Amino acid sequence: MNLDGKVAIVTGASRGIGRGIAEVFARAGATTVLVARTKSALDEVAQGIRNAGGTCEATVADVTRPEDMTRLVEDTTGRHGRIDVLCHNVGIYPATPLEDMPLAEWDHVLRTNLTGTFLAVQACLLAMKERRYGRIVLVSSITGARVGYPGLSHYAGTKAGMIGFMRTAAVELAAHGITINAVEPGSIRTEALKALGEDAIATMQRIIPLGMLGEPEDVGNAVLFLASDAARFITGQSIVVDGGQILPEIPL
Distances (CA, A) of 216 to 63, 103, 226: 21, 32, 16
- 3 state DSSP class of 33: strand
- The DSSP bridge partners found for residue 181 are 137
The catalytic position among 93, 133, 149, 155 is: 155
Distances (CA, A) of 94 to 97, 115, 143, 168: 10, 17, 13, 28
Phi then psi for 214, rounded to 5 degrees?
A: -80, 160
Is 93 considered catalytic here?
no
Under 8 Å between Cβ of 43 and 239: no
Q: Of 137, 6, 9, 109, whose CA–CA distance to 68 is shortest?
A: 9
Pair type for strands 31-36 and 134-139: unpaired
Under 8 Å between Cβ of 8 and 84: yes
Q: What is the largest CA-CA distance in the chain?
A: 53
Going by C-beta distance under 8 Å and a sequence separation of 6 or more, which residues neighbour residue 241?
183, 184, 185, 186, 188, 214, 218, 219, 222
Question: What is the distance between the alpha carbons of residues 251 and 90, in angstroms, rounded to a whole number?
Answer: 30
Active site residues: 155
